[in-house]
Chain A
Amino acid sequence: MLPRNSHAARARLLDEVGAVDQVGVEERVAKFTTRSIKKAAKVWGLLKAVSMTDLTTLEGKDTPGKIESLCRKALRPHEDPRVPPVAAVCVYPAMVSRAKAIVGGSKVKVASVATAFPSGQTHFRNRLAEVRGAVADGADEIDMVINRGAFLSGDYSRVQDEIAAVVEACGASALKVILEVSELETYDNIRMASFLAMGVLRPGDFIKTSTGKTTLNATLGNNQVMIEAIRDFYTDTGVAIGMKPAGGIRTAKQSLQFLIAVKETLGDAWLTNKRYRFGASSLLNDLLRQLEKEKTGAYQAPYYFSDAAESY
């Protein structure tokens, strides 16, 4: 059902948050990729990226054993004592209690996707129930998906009301709102959706690019549009929202480029896992590999790192 005033609503929202020029954004982020990070700065960035990782497994074939392995790795990614634990493990609701049993009491949080991830295409009452269930099982953080159908039809109040209801269902757990940028398609839409979400979030909640289940996920471009929205929302309201790019960040080099974007857009206060996360599964081993390379000067074979999918 298309609300009668959807066009006016879109025009109003776009006018309020301001438009984004695609060519300009992509030129801006290309500059981050030319930064040259060496030596101590590189090690600092790699360790920081480890501490910001939401180590993720979201597959139908996930087993309790795989969750346990993931959690052990999250707590102690590498034998090198400099390497911190990751920020969180990110799993499906059915795996929350298993994960909580292992990482509970440590610094590592349990994050659970909910709200009929990744499509969100089920009754809202069921989506809310899923959130409550995951929180009851011990999830410290909930990763929800927005109602893209409502957003694209211009029914912004519905999008926002649903997020607000999930915030309430989260209780003390932090919320990460997945915009699923590849389904929003334009940077204008991404900026508008960011503001819709931030308008009902609490300080310390996050907005997040993607589910990782579509073809295009986190890019420097959509990361930039979202962190600029966070910056503008913060300077206007004083409310600091976090950011989580997810999906497609597989290499240490990519993660450093994202961190440079954060440093130069949001500044030092966001260079912490309280405000910036990477949703990734294979990124962690590349970070560890690069850290070993910085220490020893040589790259190690994949089998030196636990849970490595690659072989040789």
Chain B
Amino acid sequence: MAEKRRAHARPRPSLIFGDLWEFDPAPETADPKIKARYDLFIGGRFVRPRSGRYFDSINPANERKLAEIALAGPADVDAAYAAAAGAFRSWSAMPGRERGKYLFRIARLLQDRAREFAVAETMDGGKPIKESRDFDVPMAAAHFFYHAGWADKLAYVAPGRTAAPLGVIGQVIPWNFPLLMLAWKLAPALAMGNCVVLKPAETTSVTALKLAEILQDAGLPPGVVNFVTGAGETGAAVMGHPGAAKVAFTGSTEVGKAIMRQLAGTDRRMTMELGGKAANIVFDDAPIDQAVEGIVNGIFFNQGHVCCAGSRLLVHEPVAERVIARLKNRMRVLRVGDPLDKNTDLGAINSKGQLATIRRLVAAGVREGATMWQPPCRLPDRGFYFPPTLFTGVTQSHRVAREEIFGPVLSILTFRTVDEAIEKANNTPYGLSAGVWTEKGSRILRMTSELKAGVVWANTFNRFDPSSPFGGYKESGFGREGGRQGLLDYARIS
């Protein structure tokens, strides 16, 4: 039916995504209530670091200083572990329903202050306000609610067996979802009756320290949760401390390996949630526009600072041209800029260092002969920004197809058969997540059993729920977070 018209069609009609209707700035204006200086949170109180030293946390959107954060040394980490050990006896002996009350309180207080926390998260980390408002903060609260519900049902978490707390847990979290990762780590540990020493990421400590205020308001017994802030050395002290019964780490594979080497030969348990280079696989029968939306959501969500980001697009050859054309159109309407603007889709890159990493790997992609494409977009003069980027003509041996970029950069590869798709998807040291787009249910089932990834999304991507376990295969780590499985990782089962 369309054939008649194709004959006298103009060459390749294109759409105009211009500025005919330019949106006015729509900044979120809630007060983030960020203090000028934050101390360590040990034993239920804010205490000065022994060293007396502080470091700056800046807003990556404009490079302005946001707050001073205490730098914890080994003595401070010792004090935090001592406080946690001191609190463990009564906290672990407390009836589950009582512990649950605290978790419910934390969840509700977080909901009460959701806007304030969303703005603080955006200013500290650079993510768009619509994501911190609609995803990070509500999901963090949801994790506390979910695990609060488990606290008085632990007798049923491992039917026929007994689940007991482990003791003090050392936790180190990354900068990409500061508050959410904190909730992922804290809520199951506390529900099970453990105490915690946690180190937030160096560039994003603010919302953890704001949550410490909520812990105080909730009346959480002193020492149950302790926050020590600092950089890599502080993290190593937390992970290597002999007082830890278990350590849980989310971050890069490189650091994860260092921690595992450090702890090899000890009886300390570990959960590692590390890097990823997920394949998002689009078959020719997939609903294309929804797949394109899933691709965008997979790689540009949180500027691509997502360990399970769909950073490799594997697209079935017959539809590759069509998928890429529609993906480019979609990318042309992504709004990059001020993270506090409610219409911003891609905010600021978290740090100068991360921006340099992204630039370095993108340059390597260009040098190795892949074709780079970026939509025209104006970036702010100050702050750390990188436009949404895609690479076509990528092969399995290009660096942009192998190394985790952790930025808004998509590498596109093609495949012809299902076996080839599986082979390419699994040809990576990582195995955190994958996506499959097809109308064929049986193909989804086959892919989920053959893809070596902890999470496989079917006709969607980057979808999370507190009840759904999350974790990796291979060098993406081990152990699960969320759901009953995540809870069991914080328990001694006998």
Contact = CB atoms under 8 A, between A and B. Distances in A.
Given A19-B286, A23-B460, A38-B25, 6 more contacts: A19-B439, A28-B289, A235-B14, A237-B13, A238-B5, A239-B5
B26 A27 contact: no
Interface in B423-479: 439, 459-460
Contacts of B15: 231, 234-235, 266-267, 269
A267 B460 contact: no
Contacts of A309: none
Contacts of B333: 263-264
B376 to A, nearest CB: 13
Interface in A26-60: 27-28, 34-42, 44-45, 48
Interface string A245-269: 0000000000000010001101111
B285 A38 contact: no
Interface string A229-244: 0010111111100000
Interface stretch (B16-24, B116-124, B222-230, B396-404): B16-24
Nearest to A40: B24
Interface residues of A, number: 44
Nearest to B19: A268
A35 B16 contact: no
Contacts of A235: 12-15, 325
B133 to A, nearest CB: 9
B342 A236 contact: no
B319 to A, nearest CB: 9
Contacts of A39: 24
A18 interface: yes
Given A196-B1, A259-B21, A18 B460 contact: no
Contacts of B130: 34
Contacts of B294: 24
Given A18-B287, A21-B287, A266-B15, A36 B5 contact: no
Contact of B6 (A27, A36, A231, A237): A237
B9 A24 contact: no
B290 A44 contact: no
Contacts of B439: 19
B13 A41 contact: no
A144 to B, nearest CB: 18
A76 B147 CA distance: 60
B285 A19 contact: yes
A195 B1 contact: yes
25 contacts: A19-B439, A20-B290, A23-B459, A24-B293, A25-B289, A27-B460, A28-B293, A34-B134, A35-B23, A37-B26, A38-B26, A39-B24, A40-B24, A233-B2, A234-B13, A235-B325, A237-B9, A238-B5, A263-B333, A264-B17, A266-B15, A267-B16, A268-B16, A268-B18, A271-B20
Given A19-B285, A233-B2, A267-B16, A41 B21 contact: yes
Nearest to B8: A238
Nearest to B289: A228
Interface of B: 1-2, 5-6, 9-10, 12-18, 20-26, 130, 134, 285-291, 293-294, 325, 329, 333, 342-343, 439, 459-460
Contacts of A40: 24
Contact of B343 (A36, A200, A237): A36
Nearest to A264: B333
Decide if the interface of chain B is mainly helix, strand, loop or mixed: loop
A236 B21 contact: no
A28 B12 CA distance: 26
Decide if the interface of chain A is mainly helix, strand, loop or mixed: helix
Given A20-B287, A21-B287, A28-B293, A237 B5 contact: yes
A133 B175 CA distance: 69
A263 B343 contact: no
Contacts of A48: 21
B290 A21 contact: yes
Nearest to A272: B20
A199 interface: yes
A18 B283 CA distance: 12
B112 to A, nearest CB: 22
Which 3 residue pairs of A and B lie closest in terms of their CB atoms, listed nearest first?
A: A24-B290, A199-B1, A36-B26
Nearest to B439: A19
A44 B293 contact: no
B287 A238 contact: no
Contacts of A196: 1
Q: Which of A23, A24, A34, A200 is the most central at the interface, judged by chain B CB atoms within 10 Å of its CB?
A: A24
A234 B10 CA distance: 10
Contacts of A200: 1
A281 B194 CA distance: 62
Given A18-B288, A24-B290, A36-B26, A267 B5 contact: no
B339 to A, nearest CB: 14
Nearest to B330: A264
Interface string A282-296: 000000000000000
A264 B293 CA distance: 13
B460 to A, nearest CB: 7
Q: Which of A21, A38, A39 is the most central at the interface, judged by chain B CB atoms within 10 Å of its CB?
A: A21
Nearest to B20: A268
A160 interface: yes
Contacts of B9: 236-239
